[in-house]
Structure 1
Amino acid sequence: MARVIGGISTSHIPSIGKAIENNLQETEYWQPFFKNFPGIHAWLEQEKPDVAVVFYNDHGLEFFLDKKPTFAIGAAASYMNADEGWGIPTIPAIPGDPEFSWHICNHLVESEFDITICQEMKVDHGLTVPMQLMWPNNSYSHMKVIPVCLNVEQHPMPSPKRCYNLGKAIGEAIDSYDKDLKVVVLGTGGLSHQLDGERAGYINKEFDLYCMDKLISDPDELSKLTIHDLIANGGAQGPEFIMWMGMRGALNGELNVLQSDYHAPISNTGAGTMLIENK
């Protein structure tokens, strides 16, 4: 049977892609962020997952404000990205796993989740930056990826509890898949940040560290938060934390935190990085 071997959380801001392109990882500004990934690379090399389920949000490449599904899941054989206007170079196609995706989609619908199933789907920096961080030099061709896109751009947005339960249902679907596969789950985005308005540049380190702690020790407590709580405490873009809640929901074993790091600011963002083993 398929099984979730662990979860990884990371920021996905587009400037990370520019830093990778320009080989800035060891510069004074970027080194405190990139130094957190060699341990993750070593773990991925050791565990050799077959599939990555990636919780992310689309920033207008595939879904714009005129059509914004609450939950969208890719069921394509491969995923391409395109020029988003950030100056980030496109990366090679990311392999998909349609059969596994359809299994998850069927389970979610049976579990009364309303999802948009995408047999063609462009993926933006919300997914491509984490792929570059986890598998440097675009070395992900051996991986299959299942994109899980959550709406954090247009209200109404799904609550932390709803996304946590979505992750649980995806974890159940993975456990019931009858192929021997190792699955790693990625929660991307955030943490606290606000890109515009009166609070532009806002970062709340205390709240970020609280969320990182409770994510492991008491996710049910985090499920009590509303989207407005995330905005009030984490800035207008703070709701990206719901992707972390989806990732956490899919982890249903005994958890062992192998790595937990926080650095701010990176492009006016509080960046958290976690590596969580799911025993």
Structure 2
Amino acid sequence: MARIIGGIGTSHVPTIALAYDRGRQNEPAWEPLFEGYRPVAKWLAEQNPDVLVVFYNDHATTFFFDMYPTFAIGIGEHFPIADEGAGLRGLPDIRGDVEFQAHIAEALVNDEFDLAFFQSRPIDHGVASPLPLLWPHEPDWPGTVVPIAINVLQYPLPTARRCYRLGQAVRRAIESYPEDLRVVVVGTGGLSHQIHGERTGFNNTAWDLEFLDTFIRNPKKLTELRHADYVRLGGAESVEQIMWLAMRGVLSEDIYEIHRNYYLATTTAMTVVLYGEGVAPGAQQIAAAQTGLD
């Protein structure tokens, strides 16, 4: 059967994509961020997963506010990378495994999650910003993606608990798939940040680190928070953290942190964290890096 081998939590800030495309990885302002992704890319290369299941939010690219679903899953062989105003990126289309995507979709509906489905629509920076930092892409991506979009833009939003339960249902779906696939689950979205209104530029490093620590030990505590709690603690856009909880729901009860990089260079806290399933093989194998906190 398909097997989950780990999870990744990552920011999907659109300026990461711009910096990557323009070759700015070694500039002083950007190098600490990109350096943090290298251990994750190395781990993925070593583990060689067949599929990334990615929880993300669409930024009015695939959907618009006249019809914006709570949960949606992409089913298709190819999804183009969206042009979000900076021109087409030099990336191949995201590839999909239709049979696996359709299996997850059917399993979720049978598990009483009513989804929207989309095919061949462009996917924006919610997935495409961190993806080339995780996987090589020349001449093509090494595996397929199951894109699962979560509404964090237009109220009413799904609760943190509902997102966690969605992840648990996705785990059941993956483990019921008969083919031998190696699966990594990815949750994208920012930690503390607010990019509009009176609190523009707001960050809360103490809350970010508390969230990351609680995420491992006691994720159910995080599911008890209301959207207003996430906004109060981390800024309006930090409600994206509920997408991390969908990723956490897919993982087993016992996970350990392999690598963490937290970088606060601008108005947005940017991070990437790698988690392994099961009991940690040894403290010496857990590397944590926290950068730019001064």
Q: In the alignment, which residue of structure 1 is the partner of 2:166?
A: 166
Q: Which runs of 5+ in 2 are unaligned?
A: 279-294
4+ aligned runs moved over 6 Å, structure 1: none
Report the AA paired with residue 36 of structure 1.
Answer: G
Report the AA paired with residue 27 of structure 1.
Answer: E
Distance 1:200 1:138 in 2: 38
Q: In the alignment, which residue of structure 2 is the partner of 1:229?
A: 229
Task: State whether structure 2 residue 117 is matched by structure 1 residue 117.
Answer: yes
Task: State whether structure 2 residue 192 is matched by structure 1 residue 218.
Answer: no
Partner of 1:46: helix, strand, or coil? helix
- The offset of 1:87, in angstroms, is 5.0
Distance 1:71 1:218 in 2: 25
Give the structure-2-normalised TM-score.
Answer: 0.91
Q: In the alignment, which residue of structure 1 is the partner of 2:63?
A: 63
Distance 1:7 1:71 in 2: 20
Report the AA paired with residue 274 of structure 2.
Answer: L
- The offset of 1:60, in angstroms, is 1.1
Cα RMSD of the aligned pairs, angstroms, is 1.4
Q: In the alignment, which residue of structure 1 is the partner of 2:288?
A: none
Give the structure-1-normalised TM-score.
Answer: 0.96
Distance 2:2 2:140 in 1: 20
After the TM superposition, which residues 52-201 of structure 1 pair with which residues of structure 2 at under 5 Å, given as runs?
A: 52-86=52-86, 89=89, 91-137=91-137, 141-201=141-201
Partner of 1:19: helix, strand, or coil? helix
- The offset of 1:90, in angstroms, is 5.4
The answer to whether the Cα contact below 8 Å between 2:53 and 2:146 also exists between their aligned partners in 1 is: yes
- The offset of 1:91, in angstroms, is 2.3
The answer to whether the Cα contact below 8 Å between 1:17 and 1:88 also exists between their aligned partners in 2 is: no
Q: In the alignment, which residue of structure 2 is the partner of 1:207?
A: 207
Instruction: Check 1:88–1:126 CA distance in 2 against 1; reply closer, same or farther (3 A cut).
Output: farther
Partner of 2:107: helix, strand, or coil? helix
- The offset of 1:139, in angstroms, is 6.2
Identity fraction in percent:
44
The aligned length equals 278
Report the AA paired with residue 204 of structure 1.
Answer: N
Instruction: Check 1:90–1:156 CA distance in 2 against 1; reply closer, same or farther (3 A cut).
Output: farther
After the TM superposition, which residues 3-42 of structure 1 pair with which residues of structure 2 at under 5 Å, given as runs?
A: 3-42=3-42
Instruction: Check 1:204–1:138 CA distance in 2 against 1; reply closer, same or farther (3 A cut).
Output: farther
- The offset of 1:168, in angstroms, is 0.6
- The offset of 1:261, in angstroms, is 2.1
Q: In the alignment, which residue of structure 1 is the partner of 2:284?
A: none
The answer to whether the Cα contact below 8 Å between 2:29 and 2:265 also exists between their aligned partners in 1 is: no
The answer to whether the Cα contact below 8 Å between 2:92 and 2:137 also exists between their aligned partners in 1 is: no
Instruction: Provide Cα deviations, 1:58-100, integer angstroms capped at 9, x if missing partner.
Output: 0011111111100000111111122112456252111101111
